[in-house]
């Protein structure tokens, strides 16, 4: 893995695609098979499987095996890490904005 492919970069890359975000939304309601995840999209199961590989590599989902089925599950812990990073940086920028506003008031 290169420096550009750190865990957080993989998460944000995975989240950058609207299809993958929709898949994660669906999995937030419970486990689903590739067939179930492919239903709402105008794409093949193979195309959905490629999206699932990206999500799996980012550790946003996991797959298990139950008989012939391989249901996918959401891994919310990785999302929580991304939310934590966003929140930390949001506070930094909000503080900087507040300091700038205070400075501009003094001018």
Domain ranges across the chain: 3-75
The reported pTM is 0.78
The CA distances from residue 57 to 50, 53, 93, 107, in Å, are 11, 6, 30, 51
Class of domain 3-75: mainly alpha
Considering only CA atoms, which of 54, 61, 59 is closest in space to residue 26?
61
What pLDDT score was predicted for residue 58? Answer: 95
What pLDDT score was predicted for residue 74? Answer: 95
What pLDDT score was predicted for residue 69? Answer: 80
Residues of the chain under the 70 pLDDT cut: 1-5
CA–CA gap between residue 73 and residue 33 (Å, rounded): 9
């Amino acid at each position: 893995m290169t420096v550009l492919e750190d865990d957080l970069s993989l998460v944000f890359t995975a989240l950058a695609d609207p299809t993958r975000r929709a898949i994660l939304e669906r999995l937030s309601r419970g486990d689903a098979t590739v067939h179930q995840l492919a239903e709402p999209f105008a794409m093949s199961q193979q195309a959905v499987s490629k999206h699932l590989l990206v999500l799996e590599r980012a550790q946003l989902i996991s797959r298990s095996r139950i008989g012939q089925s391989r249901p996918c599950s959401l891994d919310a812990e990785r999302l929580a890490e991304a939310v934590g990073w966003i929140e930390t940086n949001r506070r930094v920028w909000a503080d900087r904005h507040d300091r700038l506003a205070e400075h501009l008031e003094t001018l």
